[in-house]
Structure 1
Amino acid sequence: MRAPLGDFDHATPAPDCLDELTAPVAEAVRRWSGSVPAEQIVYVDTRPEWADTPVFLEHYGKDLLDRSANCVVVAGKRGGETTPAACVVLSAARVDVNGAVRRQLGARKASFAPMDTATGETGMEYGGITPLGLPGEWPVLVDSAVVDLPYVLVGSGRRRGKLLVPGKALAQLPNAVVLEGLGVV
């Protein structure tokens, strides 16, 4: 199979390579029920040491910057309550944590979650967190620019490998909220 974007040596429909994914991501693909068929979610094998965006783009093509998204875990706090959430923005943008995220979560303060919290709560590797397979009660905040892409490159749950997902499929994730201006340049 040829990847729908980028130039990758190995591309496979995600349902055909569940063993390459972390357990929560594999389960999300297995149970996929969006209007986009699960077979349109594509796994591409990549080197784990190249997982971070700048290095990844250096090796796989700078043209992927506008078609790549990062998924980061945040925590909104109000009183003694903490609300975890995931934010998906284009790789060239940064998450508007103190504006859009804080308002959406109804929090007095919002910040990036510590790495051990992000990996421990998601069951995913740092540098590979993906919006597929997150804890079911978490809001998944997705920048509208990501949803508008025919395909977007995101993590696979591991540092090795990436998923190519139709942008509109991310808007159909459980608890997804599409926001204008979540990512700022």
Structure 2
Amino acid sequence: MRAPIGDFETAVPAPDRLDDLVAPVADAVRHWSGSVPAEQIVYVETDPRWADTAVFVEHYGRDLLERSANCVVVAGKRGGGTTLAACLVLSTTRADVNGVVRRHLGARKASFAPMDLATGETGMEYGGITPIGLPRDWPLLVDPAVVDLPYVLVGSGRRRGKLLVPGKAFAELPGAVVLEGLGG
């Protein structure tokens, strides 16, 4: 199979590579529902040595810079409580954590979650966190620019490997809210 974007040696429908995915991501792909068939989610092998964005796009395709999204875990705090959420924005933008995210979560303060909390709660590796397979009760805030793309490169849950996902699929994930102004 040829990858729909980028220049990857190995591109396989994600349901055929469940053993290469961390448990929560594999489970989400295994039980996939929505208008986009699971077979349209493509697993591509990548080398962690080329994880830096500039090196990554040089190696796997310059077109990926505008077609990649970052999934970050944020913690919203109000009183004594903390709400964890994920934000999905294009890699060329930054999530408006202190504005849009904080207001949406009804928090007094919002910040990026510490690495050990993010990895512990998601079951994913830092640098590979993906919106597919996140805890179902988390809000998933998605920038509309991500949803509008035919295919988006995101993490696979591990530092090795990525997923290519039709943008509209992110709007259908559990807890997803498409939020104007999220990525700035």
2:126 and 2:72 map into 1 onto residues whose CA distance is: 10
Residue 133 of structure 2 is aligned to residue 125 of structure 1: no
Residue 69 of structure 1 aligns with which residue? 69
Query: What's the Cα RMSD here?
Result: 0.8
CA distance in 1, matches of 2:110, 2:8: 37
How many correspondences in the alignment? 184
Structure 1 stretches of at least 4 aligned residues deviating more than 6 Å after TM superposition: none
Residues in 2 aligned to 1:58 and 1:79: alpha-carbon distance in whole angstroms: 46
Q: CA deviation at 1:63?
A: 2.0
Counterpart in 1 of 2:167? 167
Q: Which residue of 1 aligns with 2:146?
A: 146
Offset at residue 9 of structure 1 (A):
0.4
Residue 72 of structure 2 aligns with an amino acid whose one-letter code is: V
Shift in Å, 1:56: 1.6
- Name the CA distance, whole Å, in 2 between partners of 1:50 and 1:122: 24
Which runs of no fewer than 5 residues in structure 1 stay unpaired?
Answer: none
When normalised by structure 1's length, the TM-score is 0.97
TM-score (norm 2): 0.98
CA deviation string 1:7-41 (max 9, x = no partner): 10000000001001000000000010011000000
SS of equivalent to 1:59: helix
* Structure 2 Cα separation of the partners of residues 57 and 110 of structure 1: 31
Alignment partners' CA distance in 1, 2:87 and 2:109: 16
Deviation at 1:136, TM superposition (A): 1.1
SS in 2 for 1:121: helix
C-alpha distance in structure 1 between counterparts of 2:38 and 2:182, whole Å:
26
Identity of aligned residues (%): 82
Unmatched 5+ stretches in structure 2: none
